Structure 1
Amino acid sequence: MFDKSRLNTLPDSPGVYLMKGSDDTVLYVGKAKNLKKRVRSYFSAAGESRWHIRFLVARVANVEVIVTDTEKEALILENTLIKKYRPRYNLDLRDDKTYFSLRIDTAEEFPRITIIRKVLRDGARYFGPYSSASSAREALQQLYKLFPLRHYPLETCRKRRRPCLFFQMKQCSAPCHGRITIEEYQELVQGAVLFLEGRNRALMKIYRQRMAEAAGNERFEEAARFRDLIRAIEVTVEKQKMVTAEGDADVLGMHREGNTISLALLFIRGGRLVGSRSYILAWELEDEEAVSSFLNDYYSREVFIPDQVLLPLPIADGAALEELLSERRGKRLAITHPLRGTKADLVRLAGKNAETALREKRQRDEGSETILAELMERLHLRKPPRRIECYDISNIQGSYPVGSRVSFLDGKADKKSYRHYRIKTVSGADDFAMMQEVLSRRFRDGPAQDAYPDLIIVDGGPGQLNILTTVLNELKVEGIDAASLAKSRVEQDMTAEELTRSAERVFLPGRKNPVVLRQNSAPLLLLAQIRDEAHRFAITYHKKLRGKDTIQSALDAIPGIGPKRRRELLRHFGSMRGIRAASREELAAMPSVPPALAEAIWTALHEKDKGGTP
């Protein structure tokens, strides 16, 4: 138990406190403007009456504090310590992926728009976020139709003898071949930036003025081009609804049920709602702390930071967070809790999104529980298979052999538990021996390395299943159910008018006949999904190893190319494709490549080409 007499010795200054359990495990990390006042609130009579505090306080054996000079420093230190210790009672944004954004560096001679994940402070302009690469590409394709900016690096395009196909499609202005002046290209860049910012009224005003000016000077072709561009912009934006005044904002909504909290972010860009994102998190403390911790964690990543953040409730450290996020952004940011008007309506809309996301998750969880319960019944398992692992082997006649392990938790992929295995002890195309090696390596270290699953599936029939059960018995692994899933086969019936396929079959230990689950039933679809994911994961790794070896072999076969020169070539040209596309002069321009070696490299990489020199 925690000695409450220590509370009187805590400082009155800002800082960070770490609540630790009896085994010195960090349970919770928090920050405070006044450490003594904040920590004492947990152990007061009022604090103990709050149910979501009692769970934490009952486990606290010690409180360690770190004093800082300012609240902003406390926020930075809190975020650092949370990422270091991953405390049980802090918010854990398990979804570490960032959304896609569009990037344009207006300082370039002919700026190009690219799709990226990381938003860096490099002086470039960023627009987004987009929920997927496909949605970002769709936006980019629409943009190219309005503003034909270049698609590829200038160096790559200038190596061509003529403009690429995008120029013929009027989706590129071909600056690489001098088909547009720098001034005209910069006008396209200005229009693209205004369009991405959502400043369509300003953009249309500029183009109408230019159209009128061109028509007045009898440059009718130019006036017609601006007319068509204005019409295209009008068609593009007519379906977009302005939700607030022009500007960028992130709107946070919150919904809570017990110790589960749902947070939803709405992304407002250029005054329009462009997307959203939801987080479902376990949280047992106050809502204010949840919002503050979420903002600090989310915006510490390489994400776009908008002009303002709208919150569903006021937070005590709002001023410190404003200062910190403004510093990260490089410009002023405002954090507000609107009570009325359009902004308050947006916060309520975000709250509805958070509530909907939590309701949908509960429905999915209930559906998963039903599927797992049915799976347990049909396969006669000892318990519902909450965690399922599946293994597969990939090789080409024994070359580049690899194994894969995928893990599903409650019917959903748990990708942090995926593993690759490079086969070390088997030569030749012996899938059974490879499977035995992979399974032995998985279970030889015991559950301390990785928690054991409830069910293991191997891709194949009784032979693969026998390998699995043999390994489990030899290593004395108990409490795990085993099964193999055999793919459907084409039925051999020469008299039939159409080809038919057999059902997918599940083989169980000690049972001769397979279990045939109803086709397209939820349990069978889940097993097939897990099996196919293991196969995909193995194939991807196999292709990666084979590709690396192909690259190294192609270069290593050239006399005078060693590991050092190979790395330098790949680093300079970016890839094997880049080296192959380089001319003799470009190869010889590298300090470590003499002209004779450049000639040998070019000849070796083009000896199978039927065409001449470029």
Structure 2
Amino acid sequence: MAEIEIDLKRFPTASGVYLMRGEDETVLYVGKAKNLRARLRSYFNAAGDGRGQIPFLMNRVHRIDTMVTDTEKEALILENTLIKKYRPRYNINLRDDKTYLSIRLDPREDFPALQTVRRVRRDGALYFGPYASGSAVRETLKEIYRIFPLRHYPMATCRRRGRPCLFHQIGQCSAPCHGRISREEYRHLVDGVVALLSGRESEVVGILTERMRQASEQMRFEEAARLRDQIQAISATVEKQKVVEAGGGDQDVVGLHREGGEVEIVLMFIREGKLIGRRSFPLEWRLDEDELLAAFLKQYYSRDVVIPDQILVPFAPDDTDSLAVWLSEKRGRKVHILAPQRGDKVRLVELAARNAEQSFRERGSRREARREVLEEIRQRLNLSRIPRRMECFDISHVQGSQTVGSMVVLIDGEPASSEYRRFKIATVDGNDDFASMREVLGRRLRRGLREEDLPDFILIDGGKGQLAVVTAVLDELDLLGRVDVAGMAKSRVISNMKGRVVERSEERFFLPGRKNPVVLRQGSAALFMLERLRDEAHRFAISYHRNLRGKNALSSALEAIPGVGAARRKLLLKYFGSVKNIRAATRDELAAVEGLPARTADAVYRYFHEDGHS
């Protein structure tokens, strides 16, 4: 343990947060406690507190700071905020930080529409999900529109059309934009969608059956036939869904499996008694399971995700009460965290645990396969170590303007999107890829030295020239030998006199100090992994460049209009959808935008129609 002088008596006995800092003031760990002095004392007991990672942590601690709070809930919120800010090395890290899709519907609108979103907000709208993939959402929406034809596009956009869109023609939109359905009739459709997405299919079927009977008695046979088809479609959809006996309601069920320092957590999503999906989180963790579970719940639900009525856990962590209060306030309704002891809910937790174990086994098989591929890369490219963390860099620009750089990361052969970075080139003018690459690499590696977070292997999209730049930067920072590097040159195409491809050479890898390139076997897993890394860096750079160009085009189109600032640009784009639609809008349509002063609306119209900017 580090030789540090810590007087535990100077720490308060109140609730709060503690930050353990290293020699360079880097925050190594953030924790919270009901009693700060008692909690910190456990780290300095002669026998330790039984957690395997504590010696590794305490050997690096040089100072401990504390922040006192009035309540445990405040400490929990502050701890979460500080973890997001500092990203401490010894706190839990949910590497898989993608947010699943949800379906949003705002019932306050005259003609509500369905939206797919990744962020769940407290904005008065209804949210359904989460859904495990885009294809799952598309399949759900496809069924809904076939049964309940809600609108697909913004009302303002559709009203500018001379006739209803194609979705109306195929029966998947009721065309409220052209007055083909009344507000009352449309509201019936919305009520059906809400009931269906909430899992109340029997209620929907009952309502539709009664409306079908009334339509038939009144000899409105076309309407009765349409209602009959809706009932049949709902019945077919329900049969595809898996039902679990959990007493109904919305629940998230946590399953946990641990072997040594590796942990697999599975989260099963149950909505109205139906299992709609699951999600797994692989973690490295050596502290106790109580702290692990509490940290997982705090990190996962701090995001913009759907919070259910109940969260079922295998055991109740010490933070259960404060977690439940925090989640209830975040959701706006009561949330229960339960560790069931008997009945259907226990069986659900056991099912989640079996899923976690199975996910761990499957990941282990995949991990072994990836390790073999990484070992092949190490041998073929003569690397000094297995490249567990691989980074690839790319530069993108158009004729030297708006040059950007990208960095993508593979960790143990899997993309780590939370580690991706984008760079705006600040010190290079014009078209100079070598100088741009030097700036990007210098910024990345200097930060890595400060944070002790360096890659094992850097792959550059380019040949000998780009490789020389990387080698020079590594030499300048005294990193030669600590970070391996290779340049990946694109395959060369040989064409005949008519321009037709007759031969495509293999990808070539250039290494420092070696004249001839290395060629990996075509179709090999090692080559595929490196090609995927290179292509992802290229895609990431291009997407960033296009985003900047789009913003620049938007600025040049709207910023010149007097009275149109950032807020009003956002308002116009939200209402019309694009600059093209703003340009095509009439004076009356611009004046109808709520929140846009008449004088500004007139200025926008004159800019596009009278001042020669059309």
Give the structure 2 partner of residue 610 of structure 1.
none
**Distance in 2 between residues matched to 1:66 and 1:508, nearest whole Å:** 50
Aligned partner of 1:419: which letter? R
Structure 1 position 436, deviation (Å) = 1.6
Say whether the 8 Å CA contact 2:492–2:504 is kept in structure 1.
yes
Post-superposition CA distance 1:15-65 (Å, at most 9, x none): 444455676655444334455554555555775455455555666666655
Say whether the 8 Å CA contact 1:283–1:290 is kept in structure 2.
yes
Give the structure 2 partner of residue 290 of structure 1.
292
Aligned partner of 2:276: which letter? V
Confirm whether residue 506 of structure 1 aligns to residue 509 of structure 2: yes
**Distance in 1 between residues matched to 2:308 and 2:557, nearest whole Å:** 48
**Distance in 1 between residues matched to 2:20 and 2:176, nearest whole Å:** 60
Structure 1 position 297, deviation (Å) = 2.5
Aligned partner of 1:598: which letter? Y
Give the structure 1 partner of residue 523 of structure 2.
520
Aligned partner of 1:576: which letter? V
Give the structure 2 partner of residue 488 of structure 1.
491
Post-superposition CA distance 1:482-506 (Å, at most 9, x none): 4322222334467999934222222
Structure 1 position 470, deviation (Å) = 5.4
Q: Tell me which of 433, 436, 442 is aligned to 1:435.
A: 433
CA RMSD after TM alignment: 3.4
Structure 1's 544 and 353: CA in aligned 2 closer, same or farther, altered over 3 A? same
Post-superposition CA distance 1:524-557 (Å, at most 9, x none): 112211221222223223333433444445568x
Comparing 464-473 with 204-213, which one deviates more in the overlay? 464-473
Structure 1's 602 and 571: CA in aligned 2 closer, same or farther, altered over 3 A? farther
Structure 1's 461 and 229: CA in aligned 2 closer, same or farther, altered over 3 A? same
Q: Tell me which of 357, 361, 364 is aligned to 2:363.
A: 361
Structure 1 position 438, deviation (Å) = 1.8
Say whether the 8 Å CA contact 1:436–1:471 is kept in structure 2.
no
Aligned partner of 1:314: which letter? A
Give the structure 1 partner of residue 532 of structure 2.
529
Confirm whether residue 100 of structure 1 aligns to residue 101 of structure 2: yes
Structure 1's 507 and 82: CA in aligned 2 closer, same or farther, altered over 3 A? closer
Comparing 351-360 with 497-506, which one deviates more in the overlay? 497-506
**Distance in 1 between residues matched to 2:408 and 2:562, nearest whole Å:** 34
Say whether the 8 Å CA contact 1:19–1:63 is kept in structure 2.
yes
**Distance in 2 between residues matched to 1:450 and 1:404, nearest whole Å:** 16
Post-superposition CA distance 1:363-388 (Å, at most 9, x none): 33333332222222212233333333
Structure 1 position 593, deviation (Å) = 4.3
Give the structure 1 partner of residue 237 of structure 2.
236
Q: Tell me which of 327, 333, 336 is aligned to 2:335.
A: 333
**Equivalences for 1:297-376 in 2 at 5 Å?**
297-376=299-378
Structure 1 position 272, deviation (Å) = 0.6
Aligned residues: 597
Structure 1's 360 and 175: CA in aligned 2 closer, same or farther, altered over 3 A? same
Aligned partner of 2:608: which letter? I
TM-score normalised by L of structure 2: 0.86
Structure 1 position 391, deviation (Å) = 3.3
Comparing 596-605 with 579-588, which one deviates more in the overlay? 596-605
Q: Tell me which of 599, 602, 609 is aligned to 2:609.
A: 602
Q: Give secondary structure in 2 for the equivalent of 1:449.
A: helix
Comparing 504-513 with 51-60, which one deviates more in the overlay? 51-60
Q: Give secondary structure in 1 for the equivalent of 2:493.
A: coil
Say whether the 8 Å CA contact 1:392–1:405 is kept in structure 2.
yes
**Distance in 2 between residues matched to 1:402 and 1:359, nearest whole Å:** 41
Give the structure 1 partner of residue 219 of structure 2.
218
**Distance in 2 between residues matched to 1:85 and 1:500, nearest whole Å:** 52
Structure 1 position 199, deviation (Å) = 0.9
Aligned partner of 2:572: which letter? F
Structure 1 position 103, deviation (Å) = 0.8
Q: Tell me which of 577, 582, 601 is aligned to 2:580.
A: 577
Q: Give secondary structure in 1 for the equivalent of 2:447.
A: coil
**Distance in 1 between residues matched to 2:443 and 2:506, nearest whole Å:** 37
**Equivalences for 1:400-415 in 2 at 5 Å?**
400-415=402-417
Structure 1's 64 and 389: CA in aligned 2 closer, same or farther, altered over 3 A? closer
Structure 1 position 163, deviation (Å) = 1.2
Q: Give secondary structure in 2 for the equivalent of 1:171.
A: coil
**Distance in 1 between residues matched to 2:22 and 2:544, nearest whole Å:** 41
Say whether the 8 Å CA contact 2:11–2:36 is kept in structure 1.
no
Say whether the 8 Å CA contact 2:562–2:600 is kept in structure 1.
no
Structure 1's 599 and 48: CA in aligned 2 closer, same or farther, altered over 3 A? closer
What is the percent sequence identity of the aligned residues?
A: 51
Say whether the 8 Å CA contact 1:89–1:284 is kept in structure 2.
no
Comparing 33-42 with 317-326, which one deviates more in the overlay? 33-42
Structure 1's 509 and 605: CA in aligned 2 closer, same or farther, altered over 3 A? farther
**Distance in 1 between residues matched to 2:448 and 2:10, nearest whole Å:** 43
Structure 1's 400 and 443: CA in aligned 2 closer, same or farther, altered over 3 A? closer
TM-score normalised by L of structure 1: 0.86
Comparing 505-514 with 285-294, which one deviates more in the overlay? 505-514
Structure 1's 588 and 522: CA in aligned 2 closer, same or farther, altered over 3 A? same
Comparing 171-180 with 297-306, which one deviates more in the overlay? 297-306
**Distance in 1 between residues matched to 2:70 and 2:473, nearest whole Å:** 58
Unaligned runs of 5+ in 1: 429-433, 608-614
Q: Tell me which of 419, 422, 432 is aligned to 1:419.
A: 422
**Equivalences for 1:77-96 in 2 at 5 Å?**
77-96=78-97
Post-superposition CA distance 1:451-499 (Å, at most 9, x none): 5544333333444444544565677652244432222233446799993
Give the structure 2 partner of residue 541 of structure 1.
544
Structure 1 position 566, deviation (Å) = 7.0
Structure 1 position 237, deviation (Å) = 1.3
Which of the pair has more CA radius of gyration?
A: 1
Say whether the 8 Å CA contact 2:442–2:473 is kept in structure 1.
no
Q: Give secondary structure in 2 for the equivalent of 1:170.
A: coil
**Distance in 2 between residues matched to 1:406 and 1:361, nearest whole Å:** 22
Say whether the 8 Å CA contact 1:7–1:40 is kept in structure 2.
no
Give the structure 2 partner of residue 169 of structure 1.
170
Structure 1 position 401, deviation (Å) = 4.3
Comparing 13-22 with 306-315, which one deviates more in the overlay? 13-22
Structure 1's 406 and 63: CA in aligned 2 closer, same or farther, altered over 3 A? closer
Aligned partner of 2:264: which letter? S
Aligned partner of 2:161: which letter? R
Structure 1 position 393, deviation (Å) = 3.6
Give the structure 2 partner of residue 148 of structure 1.
149
**Distance in 2 between residues matched to 1:470 and 1:27, nearest whole Å:** 32
Unaligned runs of 5+ in 2: none
